[in-house]
Structure 1
Amino acid sequence: MAAKIPFVREMEFTYEEPQQVSPLIRRLVANNPGPFTYLGTGVYIIGRGDVAIIDPGPDKPEHIEALLRAVEGERVTHIFVTHRHMDHSPAAHPLARATGAKVYASTEPPKPSDCDELRLEAGDDHIFTPDLDVSDGDRFSGPGWTIEAVSTPGHTSNHMAYALLEENALFPGDHIMGWSTTVIGPPDGDMSAYFASLEKVRDRNYDTLWPTHGPPVREVRPFVEAYLAHRLAREAQVLAQLESGKRLIKDMVNEMYADVDKRLHPAACHSVLAHMIRLVELGRVATEGPPCVDNEYWLKRA
């Protein structure tokens, strides 16, 4: 069994209605629930008067209208995007055109795949390009609030979290979610980078995580430790599957994720692939050619 994570899944809200969730944070949940978005995309509005918006969500007219109502009479100065997936970034530029704000995100391009065409999650937003590049440690401010960019590659190569310094809180996008583990889909997703990013977030000792999907995480350090332990346990499961003679990832997933919604099994295959790539890099597993979902894998003996 993989390590247990103390998930938090209960959240009271009304779709497309802003809710004050902390002194500086309002949350508005888009009406786009699903197996990867959970209850929907949570959009965060920071501050009052001159405000920032984090992960504006899908490009749906009713959603953008709801966001504009939520900031009526205020000035949107910054629109931050954690990564270019269809449930996070598409509303950024329509919202920017309506408000005059600039869109901020990492401009590092995603890594294309040369062997797997499986579409994961809500899909990539291939046309998204920010107005301004964001790098690790960059700071942005408004009246009473300061946002710091925190590079967290792993879920995607260009994933950027954002810290609200005044509340010692982090908006981790899809890097860490309270309701579920995070999909790591190679080649843009990288398990080794993900481990390093989890350790980075853990060691910064934030008081609260506000994921884009689902409720906040209040006990941050033990939660992230459980996330790390879960991944290490999954890695041990992969090695055990190989030891038992299984060579195909899909066969491993059917056993390892037997209690998980089968709609998520294709994504689980890519998470197992991410572990497999890491194990190949560590010299513990071998395969022929570039590691792909349909390859055969075997243990390397000393």
Structure 2
Amino acid sequence: MADLPTGVPMRLEPLVTRILAPNASAYTYTGTQSYLVGDTDVAVIDPGPDDPAHLAALRAAIAGRAVRAILVTHHHRDHSPASRPLAVATGAPIMGAAAFEPEDGGARADAAFDPDYRPDRVMAEGEQVAGAGWTLTAIATPGHTSNHLCFALEPTGALFSGDHVMGWATSVVSPPDGDMGAYMASLEKLLGRDDRVYYPGHGDAVDTPQRLVRGMLGHRKQREGQILRLLREAEQAVPAMVGRMYAGIDPRLRGAAERSVLAHLYDLRGRGLVIDHPRGKEETWRIAA
């Protein structure tokens, strides 16, 4: 996967072609993966960043075919900005995740919001878009973001999982838009499906999706257990917990780890298991009495 060239169309199966964007980073792995779905006409899933080279690669892969829809799984700037110039170039509608305006001014630890994302059509659970020989169904999977969608390619058993389930790492869940309780519920939802393969926004295709999702659920429950054990020892702040929980973490990812721990704490607080205690500029947490 690390040697995959950017901008080169790769046919993954008869109706699915992948094009890698040149935006590799600590948060995007080798880059954002855009997908073309279809043969005689196509949908584009997650067109990626507004990068001229990537847009040229997408247009070359489309090769003059009709584009029925530009589908966006969520509103992060490594997934949605190219939707606008691609819509101008192809005349296709932008569809999928709802637009979102952060209430906290946009303070984030993972990929930043795309403030200009405005879909022509918001898709709800079960809504579909179709072309010649293919149908894509929206699957609501909030958690990584409040508006995250996956898209199921009917009836092949392929699921485009965006950043909800990735092929290289677990998703960052960053409040207030990210919600750990919703994320866990969305994982449980996917566990109840019988998809054959996941095509994620980042990383390799997942050919044992149910096993991976079970592992992700177990990992999050393990993190929750770590947090509760630490708070039983003493009241403490998130940075101190991260220092204990993520030994040896890449310093570039420490902020993301702190956001995910905070998401767990908000979920635990909502369930009445922990209490937050503001102490000047630093918030501490303790076990609920």
TM-score (normalised: structure 1): 0.92
Indicate the percent of aligned positions where both proteins have the same amino acid.
43
Given that 2:75 and 2:99 are in contact with CA atoms closer than 8 Å, whether structure 1 keeps it comes out as no
2:53 maps to 1:27: no
- 1:72 to partner: Cα distance: 1.1
**CA distance in 1: counterparts of 2:14 and 2:5, whole angstroms:** 19
Match of residue 73 from structure 1:
64
Match of residue 226 from structure 2:
237
Query: How many residue pairs align between the two structures?
Result: 287
Match of residue 247 from structure 2:
258
Which of 41, 53, 66 aligns to 2:32? It is 41
- SS of match in other structure, 1:288: strand
Higher strand residue share: 2
Match of residue 299 from structure 1:
287
Match of residue 4 from structure 1:
none
1:51 maps to amino acid: V
Match of residue 215 from structure 1:
204
From the superposition, tell whether residues 204 and 294 of structure 1 become closer, same or farther in structure 2 (CA, over 3 Å). farther
2:158 maps to 1:169: yes
Q: Comparing both chains, which one has the higher relative contact order based on Cα–Cα distances under 8 Å and sequence gaps of 6 or more?
A: 1
**CA distance in 2: counterparts of 1:69 and 1:143, whole angstroms:** 20
2:272 maps to amino acid: G
Kindly provide the CA deviation profile for residues 187-238 of structure 1, in whole angstroms up to 9, marking residues without a partner as x: 1000000111001111012110100101111111111000000000000001
Match of residue 96 from structure 2:
105
Match of residue 183 from structure 2:
194
- SS of match in other structure, 1:185: coil
Given that 1:15 and 1:29 are in contact with CA atoms closer than 8 Å, whether structure 2 keeps it comes out as yes
- 1:106 to partner: Cα distance: 2.6
2:50 maps to 1:50: no
Kindly provide the CA deviation profile for residues 15-38 of structure 1, in whole angstroms up to 9, marking residues without a partner as x: 101010111100000011000100
Moved more, 92-101 or 12-21: 12-21
**CA distance in 1: counterparts of 2:107 and 2:130, whole angstroms:** 39
Task: Compute the RMSD of aligned alpha carbons.
Answer: 1.5
Given that 2:75 and 2:100 are in contact with CA atoms closer than 8 Å, whether structure 1 keeps it comes out as no
Which of 21, 28, 51 aligns to 1:60? It is 51
Given that 2:137 and 2:152 are in contact with CA atoms closer than 8 Å, whether structure 1 keeps it comes out as yes
2:284 maps to amino acid: E
- 1:49 to partner: Cα distance: 1.7
**CA distance in 2: counterparts of 1:166 and 1:283, whole angstroms:** 42
